[in-house]
Amino acid sequence: MRIEDGQTKDKIIMLLKKTSGLTADELSREIGITPMGVRQHLIALERKNIINYETKKHGIGRPVFVYKLTDSADDIFPKSYPGFALDLLSDLEAMDGRAKIEALFEKRKERLLKERGKLLSRHDFHAKIRALSNLFEEEGYFVELKDEGQYYALNLYNCPLSRISNRYREACNSEVELVSELLGKTAVVEKAVPIGDTFCSVQIPKI
């Protein structure tokens, strides 16, 4: 796990991960650099929303700052969520068959349709597709939206569902259906990673 070049920041993060919070002086003793040096790293991490602090009284005198990891910091540690999700889907398929997988992704699509539909309802078509592109970005996709004249090309890179969709195409189909229903247009898949392309691309007609 790395935030940027520099082992000191990594050490600070790991120390805070293992504790309920540490002061700059405590971090200084653990790492072996001056408190001023530690504070410079803490300022940089705070700007990245990796840490925050709270003040605590410590006997007589000024309160001390106790530094902790933020909830956002959890995202920088390795996760095995895709593998865990695949295991659950495999178990579900073994118990109830492939139709249950289809039903599960259909249920997910209907939920997202309600949630995103409310967010997009106030926009016209062109604004909707831009807003939808932004939603994909927020969910971990690297998105490229291109105006190709008669249609928009929605190119999706770094798909967070890639490991799942490689085994269960229902994941891809559900996403394309969701795009179609949200925009009121029939989205057409032009490229897809599960069939050998380097990225996924969906065409959405303007008319």
Regions of the chain short of the pLDDT cut 70 = 1-6, 78-79
How many other C-beta atoms lie within 10 A of the C-beta of residue 59?
5
| Under 8 Å between Cβ of 202 and 153 | yes
Q: CATH second-level architecture of 7-76?
A: Orthogonal Bundle (1.10)
- Rounded to two decimals, the pTM is 0.65
pLDDT of residue 138: 86
**What is the C-alpha separation between 108 and 124, in angstroms, rounded?**
25
Give the pLDDT confidence score for residue 4 in this predicted structure.
Answer: 42
The CATH number that domain 81-205 falls under is 3.90.1520.10
Digit-coded pLDDT (tens) for 42-72: 999 999 999 999 998 877 778 889 999 998 8
Where do you find CATH 1.10.10.10 in the chain?
Answer: 7-76
- The CATH 3.90.1520.10 domain(s) of the chain lie at 81-205
Report the pLDDT value the prediction gives residue 6, as an integer from 0 to 100. Answer: 60
* The predicted structure's pLDDT at residue 5: 38
- Position 28 scores a pLDDT of 94
Q: Would you say 171 and 165 are in contact if contact means Cβ atoms under 8 Å apart?
A: yes
